[in-house]
Amino acid sequence: MALKAVHVMNVPNLDQVSDPLNPPAFNIYPHIDQPPKDFMVIGHRGTGMNLLQSSDPRMKSIKENSIRAFNAAGKFNLDFIEFDVQVTRDDYPIIFHDNFIFTEDKGVLIEKRVTDLSLEEFLSYGPQREPDKVGKPLFRKTKEGRIFEWKVEKDDHFCTLEDVFENISHSKGFNIEFKFDDNVVYKEDQLVHVIQVVLRVVYKYAKERSIYFSSFQPDAALLIRKLQKIYPVFFLTNGGSETYTDIRRNSLDEAMKLCLAGGLNGIVSEVRAILRNPGVIRRIKDSNLSLISYGQLNNMREVVYAQLLMGVDGVIVDLVQEITEAIANFSGKVDKENVGEEEGGDEIECSQIQLSNLMKVIPSLVQQ
């Protein structure tokens, strides 16, 4: 049955969602002759981030950013797995999200900056590769300052970027996020050094694997593009959900300016920023940029479905099994050829089904 189109501009901004049906505006699959035409799904830190404070066991199932999580992600219909890369004091790219790592010694909590550690020191935390070795107990601090012992159902040892390339048993693409501390002012030579260390490993081991880079650090994103032209580069932004001194990080419009000025390929936005201002999707697409979303709302199938219909190119998700299964079910409900487009302004076509879903779930979710 054909879907009747309606204009997003006619829906109150705060009550809306965005979705992807369009293929990327660039070739994110440089080694594949025909890029996939379907909506992309990316596994967040493999099979999802660990929320140690959550009562949901799915958020503490497999250790995030681990070989175990990355291989488990290969069982699902994902296009990419996303993970975070930092560089140790002795120039090894490692896979870890947080800026600081915590352990405990004789009841005293010890905090260290991850990039101040050597590779050997970093790998000494948590489970060890050698069965007879015992690692330092591992703890994590939440954004609210609460401390939790890092316990998951299926644990794994830490790994390097080289380990990931050498030990992943599937051919899913990699979304490599360059992690930098929001509270540190980096000099250009510091950023260049980190990027070059990571690129050396990528060039050595990537072979035919599809890859794209991303970063919240605006200057780093620009430098990644300047230092290499092989792989796409995305700018990560929360689109104004938080305020930064660097105005380039404070809205999707600023993100567009950065991408266009620096020759970047697209934007990865916190999903709420898109839902609050869905008209921005048309402007982004008209600028020949791709748009991917991230955030906990992407673990809700209604939110993902709405984005699929509205033209977002993909979603980064934690609940990879649930969302990949949901998208498989969505495919039979959408007739792309019957969802039309009209010229002009910020109008984006979407369906009555999508509008109904928006009005049911979005208003309260966006404000959480």
Angle among Cα 214, 28, 323 to the nearest 5 degrees reads 75
Q: What is the domain range of residue 257?
A: 5-98+157-366
4 DSSP assignment = P
The total of structural domains in the chain comes to 1
Residue 118 is assigned to a structural domain of this protein: no
Residue 270 is assigned to a structural domain of this protein: yes
Burial 142-174 (b: 16+ CB within 10 A, else e): eeeeeebebebeeebbbbbbebbbeebeeebbb
Q: How many CB atoms lie within 10 A of CB 285?
A: 19
CATH number at residue 63: 3.20.20.190
Q: Which position has the token pair 């991850």?
A: 114
Helix (H, G, I), strand (E, B) or coil at 191: helix
Residue 140 is assigned to a structural domain of this protein: no
The amino acid sitting at 330 is F
Name the token pair of 305.
């479905």
Residue 141 is assigned to a structural domain of this protein: no
Burial 53-82 (b: 16+ CB within 10 A, else e): eeeeebbbbbbbbbbbbbbbbbebebbbbb
| CA atoms of 337 and 249, how far apart (whole Å) | 36
Residue 92 is assigned to a structural domain of this protein: yes
Closest CA to 300 of 36, 14, 17, 5: 17
Question: Do the Cβ atoms of 321 and 277 come closer than 8 Å?
Answer: no
pLDDT at 241: 85
Question: Do the Cβ atoms of 222 and 258 come closer than 8 Å?
Answer: yes
Helix (H, G, I), strand (E, B) or coil at 316: strand
Question: Do the Cβ atoms of 312 and 281 come closer than 8 Å?
Answer: yes
- Which residues of the chain have a pLDDT value below 50? 1-27, 29-36, 335-344, 347-348, 359
Residue 58 is assigned to a structural domain of this protein: yes
pLDDT at 102: 98
pLDDT at 366: 60
Question: Do the Cβ atoms of 367 and 275 come closer than 8 Å?
Answer: no
179 DSSP assignment = P
Name the token pair of 128.
């060890």
| CA atoms of 285 and 146, how far apart (whole Å) | 40
Residue 203 is assigned to a structural domain of this protein: yes
| CA atoms of 344 and 94, how far apart (whole Å) | 46
Residues 6+ apart with CB under 8 A from 164: 67, 70, 83, 95, 174
Residue 134 is assigned to a structural domain of this protein: no
| CA atoms of 187 and 107, how far apart (whole Å) | 37
Closest CA to 45 of 71, 79, 82: 82
Residues 6+ apart with CB under 8 A from 286: none
Q: Mutual orientation of helices 301-310 and 320-330 as an angle, nearest 10°?
A: 50
Q: Tell if the pTM clears 0.95, that is, is over it.
A: no
Rg of the chain, C-alpha, whole Å? 20
DSSP 20-39: --SPPSS-S-TT-SS---SP
pLDDT at 367: 59
